[in-house]
A = this chain, B = another copy of it.
Amino acid sequence: MLKNDIFLRALEGEALDRPPVWMMRQAGRYLPDFMKLKAKYDFFTRCQTPELAAAITVMPIDQVGTDAAILFSDILVIPQAMDITVEMKNGVGPWLPNPVRTAEDLAKVIVPDVEDRLHYVMEAIKQTKILLDDRVPLIGFAGSPWTILCYAVQGQGSKNFDLAKGFCFSQPALAHELLQKITDTTIAYLKAKVRAGVDAVQLFDSWGGMLGEEDYQTFSWQYMQQIIDALKDETKVIAFAKGCWYALPIMARSGAHALGVDWTCSARNARYLSGGQIPLQGNFDPSRLLSPIPEIEKLAHKMVSEFGTQNYIANLGHGILPNVPVDHAKAFVNAIKSYNS
């Protein structure tokens, strides 16, 4: 029995006095204790050592007081498990030295046995559950197939993922083959996470907003839908597609239990586009946590008053930034928790 299950109750559509709150990337670089571990262990060591991942995952529960934990990991563990080399390069970020751009490249990409290749994730979930001790639910996550393709083809982050999009538009058959391989891997991965103990999963389509409405359906959403179909009866599924306000109408009919929205889509627009019933999650501008604390509190309350306390999970509109003072993050979380309609 969870001591604090407000996050899961919001996903059920229960009437609540205040919304639950968590923050994307809450187990991250704005936390001094995270930075201490970062100084000692490199990125992959942190991801692949269950004790470290579990310790990082519970930091924001202990130190910031969010209503849900999200497993410390990375969306790029999936391409890595598919035999696409992923490195972290100083000053660049993710670096994939052998990007997938030809049929020959694609032939080398495997659909792995995730219980084997990503065993460390499942072990991290089990250790996290022990540390959490039923205080709050645990969220697992994966990148969308499109977002993983973006990195796999581009080879690194990008302002416009021109190479990834060029690959899709000039070699669509190869693109769909890669997307299906990622989808199959992701479904197996998320099912394994559910078996290992996560209470909900979130799909991050971080780069969906690079695509127009029809291309989004073709190259991203149809694969997101496959994943939702495969998971929705086993766990709660939250779909977050940054910049994809135009897709909210179809996302709302997908069977997902909640939809994430970013800060460019107002509560009014998000409720209108999603039909008004499905739980929404978001959408505080992460940069707004750099405002003075009284302004953070004012804006957080305003956000809740606009989304309403029902069918709503308070969150940021994207990941928390490394330069946010912990006190500002706490002020945001406490402002939501003290909301009084």
Listed in ascending order, the chain A residues whose CB lies under 8 Å from chain B are 157, 159-160, 162, 165-166, 169-170, 209, 211-213, 215, 243, 245-246, 263-266, 269, 283, 285-288, 290-292, 295, 317-318, 321, 323
13 A-B pairs besides A166-B287, A169-B290, A246-B266 with CB distance below 8 A are A160-B286, A160-B287, A160-B318, A162-B287, A162-B321, A165-B285, A166-B290, A169-B287, A170-B291, A209-B264, A212-B263, A212-B264, A213-B264
Most buried by B among A213, A263, A287: A287
What B residues does A170 contact at CB under 8 A?
Answer: 290-292
In the assembled complex, the CB of A146 is this many whole angstroms from the nearest CB of chain B, namely: 13
B285 touches A264 (CB 8 A): no
Closest 6 CB pairs of A and B: A165-B287, A166-B290, A212-B263, A169-B291, A213-B266, A169-B290
- Bound together, the chains give a CA A170 to CA B295 distance in angstroms of 10
Among B166, B212, B264, B292, the residue within 8 A (CB) of A246 is B264
In the docked arrangement, what's the CA distance between A162 and B291, Å? 12
Are B215 and A243 neighbours in the complex by a CB distance under 8 Å?
A: no
Least distance between A315 CB and chain B CB atoms (Å): 14
* Chain B residues near A246 (CB-CB < 8 A): 245, 264-266, 269
Q: Are A166 and B323 in contact (CB under 8 A)?
A: yes
- Chain B nearest CB from A42 CB (Å) reads 23
Given contacts A159-B157, A162-B323, A243-B243, contact A212 B291 (CB under 8 A): no
Q: How far, in angstroms, from A160 to B263 measured CA to CA in the complex?
A: 13
A108 CB, min distance to chain B CBs, angstroms: 24
Tell me which residues across on chain B come within 8 A of A286, comparing CB atoms: 160, 162
Task: Give bound CA distance, A287 to B153, whole Å.
Answer: 14
How far is A170 from B287 in the complex, measured between Cα atoms in Å?
10
Whether A264 and B290, one on each chain, are in contact in the complex, defined by CB atoms closer than 8 angstroms, is no
- A–B complex contacts, Cβ < 8 Å, 11 sampled: A162-B287, A166-B290, A169-B291, A169-B295, A211-B264, A211-B285, A212-B263, A213-B266, A243-B264, A245-B246, A246-B265
Q: How far is the CA of A275 from the CA of B156 in the complex (A)?
A: 40
Q: Return chain B residues, CB-CB under 8 Å to A215.
A: 285, 288
Contacts A159-B159, A243-B264, A264-B246 given: A290-B212 contact, CB under 8 Å? no
Instruction: Report whether A212 and B266 are in contact in the complex, using a CB–CB cutoff of 8 Å.
Output: yes
Q: How far is the CB of A20 from chain B (nearest CB, A)?
A: 22
Once the chains are docked, how many angstroms separate the CA of A213 from the CA of B288?
A: 13
Q: Which residues of B contact A243 (CB under 8 A)?
A: 243, 264
Q: Are A169 and B212 in contact (CB under 8 A)?
A: no
What are the residues of chain B within 8 A of A265 when measuring CB–CB?
246
Among residues of B, the one whose C-beta sits closest to the C-beta of A208 is B264
Complex Cα distance A218/B246, Å?
A: 24
Which residues of B lie under 8 Å from residue A162 when comparing CB positions?
A: 286-287, 321, 323
| Cα-based distance from A164 to B237 in the complex (angstroms) | 34
A131 to B165 CA separation, bound complex (whole angstroms): 36
